[in-house]
Amino acid sequence: MTTSAPAHETDAERRHEHRFQVSESIARLVMRTTANNLPLSRDDRPYQWSTTTYCDTVAWSIFRAAQKGSAMQLRIREYHRTRPREVLNPGTAWIEFKDDEQDTSLKERFGVSMDVARSFLRGEAALPEQDHGLAERAAGLLRDGARPVAVTQYNRLAYNSLDSSLRITADHNLMYFALPWETRNDGDSEPSPLGSLLAMEPDVIVEMKWYGELPHWAVDLHAYLKESTREERPSKFIVAMRWLLGETDGTKKTKKK
Amino acid sequence: MKAIEDAVRSDAPATRVVVVEDDQASADVLQRRLQANGMVVSVAHDGRRGIELVEELLPDLVLLDVMLPDTDGYDVCLRIKSNTTTSPIPVIFLSARGEVVDKVRGLSCGAADYITKPFQAAELLARIDAVLGQARNPRVPRLGRPIDRAPGERLVARVAIADAALREHVEQLLVSRFDLADETPDVVIVEGNAAIPAEVPEDVAVIRVSAGRTGNDGNEVIPVDAQLPRIVDLLVRERSLDHDLQAAAEALIVLASAIGSHDRPGAGHGERVASRAVQIGRALGLDESTRMTIRLGSLLRDVGNARLPGAILSKSGELSPEERTTLERHPILGEEILSGFKRLSGLLPIVRHHHERLDGTGYPDGLRAEQIPLEVRIVTVADRFEALLADRADRPAVSEAEAVRILQSAVARGELDAAVVAALATQVRTGGSR
């Protein structure tokens, strides 16, 4: 059980989430417009590396549910100045639960030490239950055998409105890795080496997340992104899992929103 | 191609540099400047060619422009740093982009340094020296706990040092732990780069020592001080252990190979599985010792077949349920055979569990997921892959790409480790050789 209250962040309600795959030049224009209207996120240092370790079961139940349009991702997020070649490194880890539906998402996350995150993944540590019940669902996934299986790494530029009602991010250098199934002993606290590089994203992934109505300039920006996007983007989790399972080239088209 | 030939022709131990620079004039100037300082330089004018050169030549250093015609330098750097073979090679960015975010982005991709154009040649060379100096940490002999040895088990050391004073000093240090003699030594001590006495057999350990500073010319040279007996003892013991393990394993591999000649996938299958499994292990960053375990475990995984009726092993048609049950005992029988060899205990999980599946439907123990060690999962994938490439009575051989697809289906069903199959798929896709 955790002994101290972890840092906690959660969405107040479901929010819209749209993803766009665009060229570097389009992304620069988009982020310039964004920078004129939103402040740089205080929590995301520009060009730091985000490393996200995704969990799934041997039957890939989370991935299969995500493909049908509704699933809860269970993942561990780490931030580093330079790209780490291992995951689950000592330091602060964010245990994240993200409940995705077709057009919206609900996210909740807990900042804890990596030791606590490891205990949580082994089903030994519990997190305080919050409003949305995501932690309990995650514990259920772990009881069903969910473990870390795939990793994404990328540089993120993030802009947030002051009231957090709108967030626009651009992810560069997006890389997908396999992760061998964990066989660590209970007391083992060594980081896990990344497996094979599955793919690198040649483009930039721009994401818009918002509550309620978009401001006028953001409506225009959204329309511009929709015109300029090369393909409708599934979530990074789905793309990573497709690569991992060899199911497509990782970018199978989905119906545009 | 010319760039590779130029680099390979040079036998001198010069620093090898790959320059990735799209501007021909800049590349020429850089190449001449580096060559004038004794470096062997190969040039690529786009990112794809740059990565090819780095993978072919494994240079000491990469100088990388950010703006390239087909991709950007960040992408090239990330690909170099994501490949376990090329990741130790230091990369220095050379770019006209001098904003802080550009430098941060370059360094965050794993570069050792970021130099903005235009630069002074002297500064570039100084930074190259600094980066290479960091990358070339001299090897230091590992120290271990002293080995307690019974009086009758003392090793014989021969001190073949010409300098009388140094020889006497070394003998004084060693005499407490070794018998000193010129005949049938276990270890021969020589000074620095001195020649090894011609009559010393090749399999005798040779240790080079120096009264001064340790050298850095490719040979590991141990300083003559109070630690010398312990280090010599440790190195000889390690070598002896390796020899014992090899000898025991080789004897068993001969046996396993003889059995393998009756094995269903055909002769040579065991060696192909071992080779493939070691490749996968390397791609997953496993150390040499673990790869050795994987190799020996692969070769001996079916040694239990020695206790099965030959009629089952050589049967070409479908097995009856009873025959299937008998055949599926071979992992347990193999473990029983090898458990008598203490030195091979590390191989037992591979021998016993190489038919287990992540979803618990394998045999003999029905282990699930994390209960199956990674080394075992690697051998399982290599075994199934190589079996698919061979003709069998009940089906023809398939191509490597088709075999990968079949294994990916097994991953989707929850049988195999996705990351292990992904490593194999990458090898097949990039044409990785055995």
- Cβ contact B386:B250 at 8 Å: no
Domain final position from B221, B236, B251: B236
Closest partner residue to A181 among B81, B107, B370, by Cβ?
B370
B131 and B155 assigned to the same domain: no
**Pairwise CB contact (< 8 Å): B423 & A196:** yes
Are B419 and A60 within 8 A, CB to CB?
Answer: no
Kindly state the percentage of chain A with pLDDT values over 90. Answer: 52
Count the domains in chain B: 3
Q: Do B368 and A58 touch (CB under 8 A)?
A: yes
Query: B423: nearest CA in chain A?
Result: A196
Per residue, the 3-state secondary structure of chain B, as one string, reads CHHHHHHHHCCCCCCEEEEECCCHHHHHHHHHHHHHCCCEEEEECCHHHHHHHHHHHCCCEEEEECECCCCEHHHHHHHHHHCCCCCCCCEEEEECCCCHHHHHHHHHCCCCEEEECCCCHHHHHHHHHHHHHHHCCCCCCCCCCCCCCCHHHCEEEEECCCCHHHHHHHHHHHCCCEEECCCCCCEEEEECCCCCCCCCCCCCEEEEEECCCCCCCCCCEEECCCCHHHHHHHHHHHHHHHHHHHHHHHHHHHHHHHHHCCCCCCCCHHHHHHHHHHHHHHHCCCCHHHHHHHHHHHHHCCHHHHHCCHHHHCCCCCCCHHHHHHHCCHHHHHHHHHCCCHHHHHHHHHHHHCCCCCCCCCCCCCCCHHHCCHHHHHHHHHHHHHHHCCCECCECCCCHHHHHHHHHHHHHCCCCCHHHHHHHHHHHHCCCCC
Q: Kindly report the backbone phi and psi dihedral angles of residue B164, in degrees, each rounded to the nearest multiple of 5, phi listed first.
A: -60, -40
Helix axes B418-429, A236-245, angle to 10 degrees: 70
Alpha-carbon gap: A12 to the closest alpha carbon of chain B (Å): 33
Considering the domain architecture, whether residues B34 and B115 belong to the same structural domain is answered as yes
CB pair distance less than 8 Å for B412 and A181: no
- Min mean pLDDT across A50-59, A112-121, A225-234 is at A225-234
> Last residue of some domain: B100, B135, B170?
B135
Q: What is the pLDDT, as a whole number, of residue A198?
A: 94
First to last CA, chain A: 42
Q: Is the pLDDT of residue B215 over 60?
A: no
Distance (Å, whole) CA B186 – CA B181: 10
CATH of the domain at B61: 3.40.50.2300
Q: Phi/psi class of residue B218: alpha, beta or left (left: φ > 0; alpha: ψ in -120 to 50)? A: left
The pTM of this model reads 0.72
When pLDDT is averaged across residues B19-40 and rounded to a whole number, the result is: 91
Would you call A197 an interface residue with chain B, using a CB distance cutoff of 8 Å? yes
Q: B32 with B83, same domain?
A: yes
Give the residue on B whose Cα is nearest the Cα of A193. Answer: B285
B372–chain A Cβ distance below 8 A for any pair: yes
Integer Cα distance of A52 and A107 in angstroms: 14
Q: Based on the fold, state whether residues B271 and B379 are members of the same structural domain.
A: yes
Do the chains contact at B101 and A46, CB–CB below 8 Å?
A: yes
Q: Determine whether the interchain pair A173/B285 forms a contact, defined as Cβ–Cβ distance below 8 Å.
A: no
Mean pLDDT along residues B184-205 = 82
Closest residue of chain A to B358, computed from CA coordinates: A58
Identify whether residues B372 and B288 lie together within a single domain: yes
pLDDT confidence of residue A125 = 78
Q: Is residue B255 part of a domain?
A: no
Q: Which domain holds residue B28?
A: 2-135
Within-domain flag for B397? yes
Segment A17-33 mean pLDDT:
91
Burial class, B236, CB count within 10 angstroms (exposed 0-12 / middle 13-18 / buried 19+): buried
Q: Check CB contact of B283 with chain A, cutoff 8 Å.
A: yes
The rounded percent of chain B whose pLDDT value lies above 70 is: 83
Domain co-membership, B55 together with B106: yes
Instruction: Supply B259's token pair.
Output: 């059995």
| Cα–Cα dist B103/B93, whole Å | 9
Let me know whether B87 and B223 are in one domain: no
Residue B78 near residue A154 (C-beta atoms within 8 A) = no
Better pLDDT: A75 or A123 = A75
My answer on whether B93 and B181 are in the same domain is no
Chain B residue numbers with beta carbons less than 8 Å from the beta carbon of A240 are none
Q: Which of A60, A145, A198 is closest, CB to CB, to B422? A: A198
Based on the fold, state whether residues B186 and B325 are members of the same structural domain.
no
Note whether B62 and B176 are same-domain residues.
no
CATH class of A7-245: alpha beta
Q: What confidence tier does B258 reach under pLDDT thresholds 50, 70, 90?
A: low
Checking if the pLDDT of B431 tops 80, the result is: no
The Cα–Cα gap between B348 and B78 comes to 38
* Nearest-neighbour CA in chain B from A176: distance (Å): 11
Residue B221 burial (CB count, 10 A): 23
A89 by DSSP, 3-state: which?
coil
**B339 and B270 housed in the same domain:** yes
Q: Does A77 touch chain B if contact means CB atoms closer than 8 Å?
A: no
- Residue B81 token pair: 């740093």
Tell me the pLDDT tens digit for each residue of A162-215: 888 999 999 999 999 999 987 655 566 788 889 999 999 889 999 999 998 999
Mean of pLDDT values over B354-358: 96
Taking CB atoms and an 8 Å limit, are A58 and B414 in contact across chains? yes
Closest by CA to B421, choosing from B413, A86, B331, B367, is: B413
Question: Comparing A215 with B231, which gets the higher pLDDT?
Answer: A215
Q: Has residue B143 got a pLDDT over 60?
A: no
Question: Does B82 sit within 8 Å of A173, measured CB to CB?
Answer: no
Are B112 and B92 in contact, with CB atoms under 8 Å apart? Answer: yes
Structural domain boundaries in chain A: 7-245
ipTM: 0.86
**Contact with chain A for residue B285, Cβ under 8 A:** yes
Q: Is residue B306 part of a domain?
A: yes
**CATH label of the domain that carries residue B420:** 1.10.3210.10
What distance in Å separates the CA atoms of residue A87 and residue A179, rounded to the nearest whole number? Answer: 9
Better-predicted residue by pLDDT, B96 or B262: B96
Q: How far apart are the first and last CA of chain B?
A: 23
pLDDT at position A254 is 43
Residue B152 has pLDDT above 80, yes or no: no
Among A residues 143-162, those touching chain B with beta carbons less than 8 Å apart? 145, 147, 149-150, 155
Residues of B in contact with A180 (CB under 8 A): 284, 374, 377, 417, 419-420
Contact B207, B222 (CB under 8 A): yes
Contact B404 A193 (CB under 8 A): no
> How does strand A204-210 pair with strand A166-178?
antiparallel
At residue B242, the pLDDT reads: 63
**Cβ(B261)–Cβ(B312) under 8 Å?**
no
Which residues of chain A neighbour B421 with C-beta distances below 8 Å? 246
**SS3 of residue A63 by DSSP:** helix
The predicted-structure confidence for B269-291, as pLDDT tens digits, reads as follows: 888 999 999 999 999 989 888 99
**Residues B32 and B174 placed together within one structural domain of the fold:** no
Kindly state whether B257 is in contact with chain A, defined as any CB-CB distance less than 8 angstroms.
no
pLDDT at B225: 81
CB–CB contact B419 A195 (8 Å): yes
